[in-house]
Chain A
């Protein structure tokens, strides 16, 4: 006779899954960073730096 999952077991499973998620995310981020060079955060930081440079150049050209 197949055993049915109790509510207690379901909660335990969800807790396990939720507890694992940050570890999994960091692991995947690490793999992607290693395999493809940069993470999304690193690309965005680079973009911010470029925008700051563009804005500074524009202000200089405008004499502000």
Chain B
């Protein structure tokens, strides 16, 4: 009887640990998906603004170059989350994503001359930063 308890207790502990890990992994995965969706929405907004001549060709080129870098970093981040289910590779990829986002803000958004376009893209950027901060909380 005592032996059975000694088996059941660790199994129950493992069950709770597994639930916790799966739930955490699912939430990180969902945040990673939301991050990608946010960048895609940001890109679509930028393209529309460019088509409306509210963003210059030069600004457009710069922003798309930065978005391409963010996309590459996002793929690396997803791979790190998938392979190691978190630290420390995911932390390095996350730091790279934050760095890319800062570059997008400083070298891209803040350099836009049209104030309305800058405000729109800055608003879209705020949600991206919030999602990345959420991923950081889990990792």
Contact = CB atoms under 8 A, between A and B. Distances in A.
Interface in A41-64: 41-44, 46-48, 50-55, 57-59, 61-62
Interface on chain B toward A: helix, strand, loop, or mixed SS? helix
A21 B16 CA distance: 11
A58 B64 contact: yes
Q: Classify chain B: how many residues form its interface, as a range.
A: 35 or more
Interface string B1-30: 011001100110011001100110111111
Interface residues of A, number: 36
Nearest to B65: A62
Interface in A14-64: 14, 16-17, 20-21, 24-25, 28-29, 32, 36, 38-44, 46-48, 50-55, 57-59, 61-62
B113 interface: no
A32 B7 CA distance: 25
B78 A40 contact: no
Interface of B: 2-3, 6-7, 10-11, 14-15, 18-19, 22-23, 25-30, 32-33, 35-37, 39-40, 43, 47, 60-61, 64-65, 67-68, 70-72, 74-75, 78, 81-82
Interface of A: 3, 5, 9, 13-14, 16-17, 20-21, 24-25, 28-29, 32, 36, 38-44, 46-48, 50-55, 57-59, 61-62
